[in-house]
Amino acid sequence: MAKIQVSGLTFSYESSYDNIFENASFTIDTDWKLGLIGRNGKGKTTFLNLLLGKYEYSGSIQTSVCFDYFPYTVTKEQRKKLTVEVIEEIEPAYELWKVCMELDFLKTDGEILYRPYETLSHGERTKVMLALLFSKDNYFLLIDEPTNHLDMATREVVKDYLNSKKGFILVSHDRWLLDNCIDHVLSFNRNSIQVEKGNFSSWYENKEKRDNFEKSENEKLKQEIGKLNEAARRTSAWADKVENSKIGFDPSREHDRSISTRSYLGEKSRKMQQRRKNLERRQQNAISEKEELLKDIEENIDLKLMPLNHHKEVYIRAKELQIQYEDNIVIPNFQMELKRGDRILLQGKNGCGKSSIIKAILQCSGVEVLNDFSEYKEIRLRTSGILEAASGLKISYINQDTSILQGKLTDYIEKIGVEESLLKAILRQMDFERVQFEKPMEEYSEGQKKKVLIAGSLLQKAHLYIWDEPLNYIDIFSRIQLEKLILKYQPTMLIVEHDKTFGDKVATKVITM
């Protein structure tokens, strides 16, 4: 059982104004199933790359183990090859029988290795790469968000698989996954790094207790500092008055003053001055103690939404709907009635047609898509059966593809027709750093790009909000913010999302395809 000892770690990117890590020190055990938690941009993936030796840093990372990282990089040229050839190029020393054994644990037949890699689904690719990762001996494994774009059935398999393993760091924003397959938490907080035994729920419960205690102590100290300030003001006035009475006197008014009286006044002045110093010291101690509080508090500021109510009760109606691309029938028979106030969650395996239903709705006559990008219009769908939308229905749409975000943030804001100051204010409330506003959006992390799409949608006054996998790469605290928002304002929504905790909290109906 080896350890990873991090001491005085300091690192920043050349283009960054601030250090991502500054004099960070902590120890983790390579026998743990460790969950790595933190806001977008707090350095989770950066830390994994530092372990891999990709960047120079100051301080030290001491360990006797080797590291390997998921996801592996697969080039465009490699994607055209057989999967077995791809993994051989990634890891020439791999052992086929071990990979097949791990695939069996992942409930996947080894024949998948002899299919072209580009024909594999997201879930199949994830399973192959996890099997290759865990087929290696004596490595501490770095697993970076393995469940993005995976359907619920595949997430179940990955969850059970990781729960049976140990010796890894798992970066994930999926609370359900973290609860079911980790035994320690490494949290990158606002101003500190913390290691704690347990899963996500136990860590979050302890964090809330710590936060509430610090808030309570902060209020007590504010009151104490106020009282000390008032006492110091009175004591200072008394001390100055006594000090002034020591020097000089009027014989006509103070005929009884003597040397002993002046000695008494001197002692009294000394005591008052000492009391003043004691109060100042207590003030400073209280202020210093207060400054140590609230540094890691995650203030989930309540977001706002301005949904519209359509005069019709039924927004979308689908009956015996068939959808096909050219001659390929994607959905043979779909039924749905989406009414005002519904929040329908579409569930099903990847490739079952969830996004096709959304695109068909967006192409309905009589609807207005507020952020009207052409992506969903590129392929015209052929439909039969009934698909009706309420006339004049305004839809705010979040696409799962973030590639549309290019160039300046201000240009995107102008394109979707919302107020710049409001969108930036929402991004700040979702812990978006101001310095990011000036960067090209291509340099944003995937989580930051998702936040831009969500902020734009929140500012659009729509009857229906259609969000297609909005939470991929979004940090846990922002997910909790969005849950509170939806439950408070109760917009009408159609959502495709595989985060089980999120779906359980916000959905009023679930359609499993």
> What confidence score (pLDDT) does residue 3 get?
94
**pLDDT-derived band of residue 231, with 50, 70 and 90 as boundaries?**
low
Which residue type, as a one-letter code, is found at position 232? Answer: A
> What confidence score (pLDDT) does residue 431 get?
86
**pLDDT-derived band of residue 305, with 50, 70 and 90 as boundaries?**
confident
Cα–Cα distances (Å) from 360 to 149, 397, 426, 494, in that order, read 21, 13, 30, 13
> What confidence score (pLDDT) does residue 292 get?
56
> What confidence score (pLDDT) does residue 383 get?
87
The pTM (predicted TM-score) of the whole model is 0.77
**pLDDT-derived band of residue 375, with 50, 70 and 90 as boundaries?**
low
> Is the pLDDT score of 255 beyond 90?
no
> Is the pLDDT score of 254 beyond 60?
no
What percentage of residues in the chain have a pLDDT greater than 70?
82
Whether the Cβ atoms of residue 323 and residue 334 lie closer than 8 Å to each other: yes
> Is the pLDDT score of 373 beyond 60?
no
> What confidence score (pLDDT) does residue 446 get?
87
What is the pLDDT averaged over residues 245-272? 55
Pinpoint the alpha helices (H) of 246-370.
Answer: 259-291, 354-362
What is the pLDDT averaged over residues 85-101? 95
> What confidence score (pLDDT) does residue 210 get?
85
> What confidence score (pLDDT) does residue 408 get?
94
Positive or negative, the CA dihedral 55, 60, 61, 63 is: positive
> Is the pLDDT score of 323 beyond 70?
yes
Spatial distance between the Cα atoms of 143 and 128, rounded to a whole number of angstroms: 14
Q: Which residues of 409-422 are buried (b: 16+ CB within 10 A; e: fewer)?
A: beebbeebebeeee
**pLDDT-derived band of residue 272, with 50, 70 and 90 as boundaries?**
low
> Is the pLDDT score of 337 beyond 60?
yes
Q: In 96-211, at which residue ranges do the beta strands (DSSP E only) sit? A: 139-144, 168-171, 184-188, 193-197
Q: What is the mean pLDDT of the chain?
A: 86
Spatial distance between the Cα atoms of 274 and 41, rounded to a whole number of angstroms: 50
> What confidence score (pLDDT) does residue 286 get?
58
> 392's torsion region: left (phi>0), alpha (psi -120 to 50) or beta?
left
Spatial distance between the Cα atoms of 145 and 150, rounded to a whole number of angstroms: 11
> Is the pLDDT score of 345 beyond 80?
yes
> Is the pLDDT score of 275 beyond 80?
no
What is the pLDDT averaged over residues 148-174? 93
What percentage of residues in the chain have a pLDDT greater than 90?
59
What is the pLDDT averaged over residues 144-148? 91
pLDDT tens-digit series, residues 487-513:
999 999 999 999 999 999 999 999 998
pLDDT tens-digit series, residues 164-207:
999 999 999 999 999 999 999 999 988 889 999 999 999 999 99
- Residue of higher predicted confidence among 272 and 503: 503
Query: Of the given ranges (51-55, 357-361, 400-404), which has the lowest mean pLDDT?
Result: 400-404
Which residue type, as a one-letter code, is found at position 133? Answer: L
- Residue of higher predicted confidence among 299 and 455: 455
Side-chain half-sphere exposure of 400, counting CA atoms within 13 A: 16
> Is the pLDDT score of 390 beyond 90?
yes
> What confidence score (pLDDT) does residue 131 get?
97
pLDDT tens-digit series, residues 391-433:
999 999 998 888 889 899 999 999 888 999 999 999 998 888 8
> What confidence score (pLDDT) does residue 28 get?
96
**pLDDT-derived band of residue 330, with 50, 70 and 90 as boundaries?**
confident
Which residue type, as a one-letter code, is found at position 146? Answer: P
| 78 sits in which H/E element | helix 76-79
DSSP state of 324: E
Spatial distance between the Cα atoms of 382 and 354, rounded to a whole number of angstroms: 15
> Is the pLDDT score of 148 beyond 90?
no
> Is the pLDDT score of 243 beyond 70?
no
What is the pLDDT averaged over residues 274-302? 62
Q: Are strands 464-468 and 343-347 parallel, antiparallel or unpaired?
A: unpaired
> Is the pLDDT score of 245 beyond 90?
no
> What confidence score (pLDDT) does residue 220 get?
73
> What confidence score (pLDDT) does residue 171 get?
95
pLDDT tens-digit series, residues 94-138:
999 999 999 999 999 999 999 999 999 889 999 999 999 999 988
**pLDDT-derived band of residue 227, with 50, 70 and 90 as boundaries?**
low
> What confidence score (pLDDT) does residue 263 get?
58
